[in-house]
């Protein structure tokens, strides 16, 4: 028998995180793939948020420096299609990163329009697909690192790097949209 649909690991992780952390919301799984992986509603069902979830296993940083590597919690890699972001019906895209040393997860929760704006700033617009690396450091900082040299990547690991367009820290584990629904 062929399954009607399947959930991928990231969707399960996000759904469980929301269910365990926010008791006044419900998590729904659409039965058809429309670019929305999860719907979140308050118990009264008066409002909804739609989520697109992207999961990555850990990837090596490329630093080749054991001391600096210890400063990184997680490094993920995604190939993002600009057209899918433009056409996205989701309110938020959530990138799920699993920690190197534990089973802890970090989440980047970002509106698709802001994600696209940043991709357009960082990568040539002629590329429809963007290979994107996202790092989370032990200092709870978050950066997109594709195209950076070793010096800049080392600065990220050391907590000394500065670049507003590459800094995704405002979106790191920022569950405020779900908290808002939880309070309704």
Q: For tokens 């056409």, name the residue.
A: 87
Helix (H) or strand (E) holding 26: strand 25-28
Topology of domain 9-182, CATH: Trna Endonuclease; Chain: A, domain 1 (3.40.1350)
Tell me if 14 sits within 8 A of 63, measured CB to CB: no
Digitized pLDDT (tens) for each residue of the chain, 184 residues in all = 455 567 889 999 999 999 999 999 999 998 888 889 999 999 999 999 999 999 998 888 888 888 888 899 999 999 999 999 999 999 999 999 998 877 789 999 999 999 999 999 998 877 789 999 999 999 999 999 999 999 999 999 999 999 999 999 999 999 999 999 999 8
Output the pTM of the full model: 0.93
- Pair of tokens at residue 171: 């979106």
Domain boundaries, the chain: 9-182
CA distances to 83, 88, 118, 152 from 163, rounded to whole Å, are 26, 27, 12, 10
């Amino acid at each position: 028998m062929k399954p009607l649909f399947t959930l991928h690991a990231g969707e399960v992780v996000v759904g469980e995180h929301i269910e365990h952390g926010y008791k006044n919301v419900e998590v729904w799984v659409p039965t058809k793939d429309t670019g929305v992986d999860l719907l979140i509603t308050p118990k009264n069902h008066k409002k909804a948020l739609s989520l697109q979830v992207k999961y990555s296993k850990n990837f090596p940083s490329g630093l080749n420096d054991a001391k600096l590597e210890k400063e990184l919690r997680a490094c993920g890699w995604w190939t993002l299609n600009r057209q899918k972001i433009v056409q996205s019906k989701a309110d938020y895209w959530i990138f799920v990163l699993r920690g190197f040393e534990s089973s802890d997860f970090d989440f980047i929760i970002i509106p698709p329009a802001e994600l696209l704006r940043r991709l357009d700033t960082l990568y040539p617009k002629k590329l429809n697909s963007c290979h994107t690396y996202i790092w989370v450091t032990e200092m709870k900082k978050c950066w997109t690192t594709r195209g950076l040299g070793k010096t800049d990547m080392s600065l990220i690991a050391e907590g000394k790097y500065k670049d507003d367009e590459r800094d995704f820290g405002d979106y790191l584990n920022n569950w405020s949209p779900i908290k808002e629904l939880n309070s309704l």
